[in-house]
């Protein structure tokens, strides 16, 4: 197939719409559903991300994409009992591929609602069963087990988008796009992200563990496919907070840091102890938890509200209690798609347990950024490469 007609473009008024190849055949096969313009943008960006994660870590990888940026990305490491609970998968059989998607979806479940999924390896039955019960637009993978495919085909009354991509497809080295009737052309970003990029450690602390290097590579590869400006916090084989598309670096760091904090707060005894009613959907649980740990927690505890969600009225999760719990989050990795211009980014990162940092360097205030890292005993590598994505 050389081209595929789409219902419309980014918005219903943008017609006609299609995807096509100037040379050769499309490297995808739509096994079910009818993907749209934004679906395919998410699918192709997500596929590139997970393919590179698999190459860098030798582990199955997954990502959860929304509006051309990842809400989460991860590799298939085993889940702790706590993570199984906060990702709502403690009742499922888990394979390495399913572990990867549980982590990618679970990092920021509110942002992942209605996502497009990319998998680096064959979609197996455990992964398909997990996908089947989440609100999602579609999935792209290099292959599907027969029973897994049937599970996915039954989702959304048979309209769920299932795409198979040629794992050996390699695009042309020059890419183009039209904006305002004008054609832009550039070489593809074929930069190989590997441990060599982390060798130039500029801080007093030169220690960088194998796990830290893995997490920094996950952060940097995630940033390569995140709308800029962007930063990514990562820990234990997954992104835990992504700040995308902000005009200011510090706002990226704050946004992603807040998401990383929520991920950690969800693992606290206070949140794990919440008693939900049996008929509450997972999405409503996620929303309720988000409100419970926010400044609006009194709303969810108000008379007439909590009874619709919980079987017992939760005790408030005070700011002092949250601060104490957050202080226990350590050894977090942080990647940035461009240099940190001020030490304030490091100050904010410290609040979310960051110990390892990878960024391009090159600011006129690099000395201030390094000094701030040294103050907290952090280890920071200058990669020398920028990862803007637009």
Per residue in 92-124, pLDDT tens?
Answer: 999 999 999 999 999 999 999 999 999 999 999
Strands 332-336 and 69-75: unpaired
Nearest to 48 by CA among 170, 144, 136: 170
What is the spatial distance between Cα 93 and Cα 72, in angstroms, rounded to a whole number?
21
Catalytic residue status for 389: no
Domain boundaries in the chain?
3-7+24-165, 174-265+329-382, 269-316
Which residue in the list 32, 39, 99, 229 is annotated as catalytic?
229
Q: Which long-range contacts (C-beta less than 8 Å, at least 24 apart) are formed by 301-308?
A: 308/277
Q: Are 94 and 102 in contact (CB under 8 A)?
A: yes
Cut 0.75: pTM above it: yes
How many CB atoms neighbour CB 28 within 10 A? Answer: 20
Q: 200-215 burial string, b = 16+ CB within 10 Å, else e?
A: ebbbeeeebeeebbbb
Which residue in the list 54, 66, 235, 350 is annotated as catalytic?
66
> How many H helices and E strands in the chain?
14, 15
Token pair belonging to 83: 């993570």
DSSP secondary structure code for residue 376 in this structure: T
Same fold? 3-7+24-165, 174-265+329-382: yes
Q: Are 208 and 198 in contact (CB under 8 A)?
A: yes
Q: Are 225 and 51 in contact (CB under 8 A)?
A: no
pLDDT digits (tens, 9 = 90+) for 42-80: 999 999 999 999 999 999 999 999 999 999 999 999 999
pLDDT score, position 300: 65
pLDDT score, position 161: 98
pLDDT score, position 313: 87
User: Span 3-7+24-165: which CATH code?
Assistant: 3.40.140.20
pLDDT score, position 305: 75
User: Span 174-265+329-382: which CATH code?
Assistant: 3.40.140.20
Which residue in the list 22, 170, 330, 390 is annotated as catalytic?
390
Catalytic residue status for 67: yes
Q: Are 340 and 348 in contact (CB under 8 A)?
A: no
Q: Are 230 and 251 in contact (CB under 8 A)?
A: no
- Write out the E strands in the chain: 3-6, 17-20, 28-32, 61-66, 69-75, 115-119, 136-141, 161-165, 174-179, 182-187, 230-235, 238-244, 332-336, 354-359, 379-382
Q: Are 211 and 379 in contact (CB under 8 A)?
A: no
Radius of gyration of the chain (CA): 21
Low-confidence ranges of the chain (pLDDT < 50): none
pLDDT score, position 245: 92
Catalytic residue status for 229: yes
Catalytic residue status for 390: yes
pLDDT score, position 306: 82
**Which residue has 């599907």 as its token pair?**
144
């Amino acid at each position: 197939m050389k081209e595929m007609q789409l219902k419309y473009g980014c918005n219903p008024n943008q017609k006609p719409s299609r995807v096509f190849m100037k040379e050769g055949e499309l490297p995808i096969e739509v096994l079910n559903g009818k993907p749209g313009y934004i679906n395919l943008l998410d699918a192709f960006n997500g596929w590139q991300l997970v393919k590179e994660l698999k190459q860098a870590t030798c582990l199955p990888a997954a990502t959860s994409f929304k509006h051309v940026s990842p809400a989460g990305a991860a590799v298939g490491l085993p889940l702790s009992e706590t993570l199984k609970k906060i990702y709502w998968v403690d009742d499922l059989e888990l394979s390495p591929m399913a572990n990867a998607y549980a982590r990618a979806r679970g990092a920021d479940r509110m942002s992942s609602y209605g996502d497009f999924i990319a998998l680096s390896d064959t979609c197996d039955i455990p992964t398909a069963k997990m996908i089947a019960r989440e609100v999602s637009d579609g999935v792209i993978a290099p292959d599907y087990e027969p029973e897994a495919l049937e599970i996915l085909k039954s989702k959304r009354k048979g309209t769920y988008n299932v795409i198979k991509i040629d794992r050996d497809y390699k695009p042309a080295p020059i890419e183009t796009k039209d904006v305002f009737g004008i054609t832009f052309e550039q070489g593809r970003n074929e930069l190989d992200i590997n441990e060599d990029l982390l060798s130039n450690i500029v801080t007093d602390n030169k220690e960088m563990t194998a796990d830290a290097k893995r997490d920094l590579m996950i952060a940097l590869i995630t940033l390569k496919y995140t709308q800029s400006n962007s930063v990514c916090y990562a820990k234990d084989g997954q992104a835990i907070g992504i700040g995308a598309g902000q005009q200011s670096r510090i706002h990226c760091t704050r946004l992603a840091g807040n998401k990383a904090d929520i991920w950690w707060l969800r693992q606290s005894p206070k949140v794990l102890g919440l008693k939900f009613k049996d008929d509450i959907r997972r999405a409503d649980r996620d929303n309720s938890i988000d409100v419970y740990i926010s400044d609006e927690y009194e709303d969810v505890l108000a008379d007439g509200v909590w009874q619709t969600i919980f079987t017992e009225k939760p005790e408030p999760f005070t700011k002092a209690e949250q601060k104490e719990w957050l202080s226990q989050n350590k050894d977090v990795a942080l990647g940035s798609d461009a240099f940190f211009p001020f030490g304030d980014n490091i100050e904010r990162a410290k609040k979310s347990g960051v110990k390892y940092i990878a960024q391009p360097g090159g600011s006129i205030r690099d000395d201030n950024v390094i000094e701030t890292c040294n103050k907290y005993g952090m280890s920071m590598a200058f990669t020398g490469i920028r990862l803007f994505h637009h």
